[in-house]
Structure 1
Amino acid sequence: MLREIRPAILVLVVLTAITGLAYPLAMTAIAGAIFPKQAQGSLIEKHGKVVGSALIGQEFKEAKYFHGRPSATVAPDPNDSSKTVPAPYNAANSGGSNLGPTSKALNDRIKEDVEKLKAENPSSPVPVDLVTTSASGLDPDISPEAALFQVPRVAKARNMQEDQVRQLVTQNTQGRLAGVIGEPRVNVLALNLALDTVGTK
């Protein structure tokens, strides 16, 4: 009996060491050597201080900043642990609202957001990604159309020319990967940091 169990235990220990220890450590070391920035979370620094990640969105509320895609992530209610409260871009609880197209709460929220955005820029149609959340709730990017839609508000808040702000959007627009994969996008944090370097604070 022991003679039959011993090889099984040995195989378990060896495979655990290989797949649970050696392989993850090797992949971590290789990733750190080949892609050091990405392996550390694609962190973005300003004046030597980490201000965020290129992979996780942030909430910008001030008129002088570009706003990202809405986030439906939540966190435990500090007053009642059985409930949750909105916590935009909460990376510890990534997820969508799970509200469907027939949800009154979802439709009311979108309608309210569309009306607010139309008041900001009545001459342009509201881009869909400015009023809808994603499955992750952490999107760091918006479409170029969503960024351009916000140009009049940002330019007015900063006393800048709209053309100057549009140029910043163009400079911070990333194209499709290899020209075919994905969609053009604008990283909101990177755009706002670029804006702070030239715009009136």
Structure 2
Amino acid sequence: MNVSTMSSTPVWRASLALALVTLLGFGLLYSLAGAGLGRVLFPHQANGSLIERDGQVIGSSLVAQPFADDRYFQSRPSAASYSVMGLAGSNQARTNPDLRARIDEARAAVAAREGVTPADVPSDLVTQSGGGIDPHLSPAAVQIQIARVARVRGLPVGEVEQVVAEHTEGRQFGLLGAPRVNVLELNLALDARGKPE
């Protein structure tokens, strides 16, 4: 019997066993355990952080939505048309003239809608996030929309400011990130206070 044939058989068996253990253990069992543990410890997040109203899913707190009506706070622009299937930023460099033109046009439109000068428009109301579906705005971007939302809804400005304050999230763990407001949750809270006409 050939010595090389005898020594290669155990190597193939060991390689095959290692491949099976790796695929089944780490590829399947580890994934199932992680998903199962996530569902037990964080059921809301594991199911997509879905938001329901009147028994119907209307969105996710993790995904931005477009709001065309002036009764609502407007979300950050999306390069992905607010689609989770096409997550993307614009991928345009800061020096790209098309990007500059789009931002200038958006800044002028926001300034006209909110009754402020273009210089007062926060950047997150005219720029797209990297993923294209960021559900949050900075407190400054929400602040310049308060007067319009209050006027159109027929609510006192102070009441809308109070709802905004209640929905302003601080830095994560007190030090990570920046303060932010989830636009969908804010708009739903305003609807709950008194449905717009």
Please indicate, yes or no, whether the TM-score normalized by the shorter chain is above 0.5: yes
Answer yes or no: is 1:117 the counterpart of 2:110. yes
**Equivalent in the alignment of 1:58:** 65
Q: Deviations over 1:89-126 (max 9, x none)?
A: 11111111111122222111111111122223334611
**Equivalent in the alignment of 2:185:** 190
2:82 to 76, 89, 111: 89
Distance 1:121 1:21 in 2: 52
Q: After superposition, where does 1:51-200 map in structure 2 within 5 Å?
A: 51-73=58-80, 88-123=81-116, 125-199=120-194, 200=196
**Equivalent in the alignment of 2:16:** 9
Instruction: Provide the TM-score with structure 1 as the length reference.
Output: 0.89
Looking at secondary structure, tell me which structure has more strand per residue.
Answer: 1
Q: In structure 1, what residue type is equivalent to 2:36?
A: A
Instruction: Return the offset for 1:178.
Output: 1.4
Unmatched 5+ stretches in structure 2: 1-7
Q: Deviations over 1:156-186 (max 9, x none)?
A: 2111111111111111111111111111110
Q: In structure 2, what residue type is equivalent to 1:14?
A: V
Distance 2:114 2:14 in 1: 71
Q: CA RMSD in A?
A: 1.3
The residue matched to 2:76 in structure 1 has which SS?
coil
Q: In structure 1, what residue type is equivalent to 2:51?
A: I
Q: Deviations over 1:122-142 (max 9, x none)?
A: 346111100111111110000
Aligned pair count reads 187
Distance 2:110 2:88 in 1: 24
Unmatched 5+ stretches in structure 1: 74-87
Q: In structure 2, what residue type is equivalent to 1:19?
A: F
* Runs of 4+ in structure 1 over 4 Å off: none
The residue matched to 2:22 in structure 1 has which SS?
helix
The residue matched to 1:101 in structure 2 has which SS?
coil
Looking at secondary structure, tell me which structure has more helix per residue.
Answer: 2
**Equivalent in the alignment of 1:37:** 44
Over alpha carbons, which structure has the higher Rg?
A: 2
Distance 2:16 2:108 in 1: 65
Instruction: Provide the TM-score with structure 2 as the length reference.
Output: 0.90
Distance 1:30 1:49 in 2: 27
**Kindly, what percent of the aligned residue pairs are identical?**
42
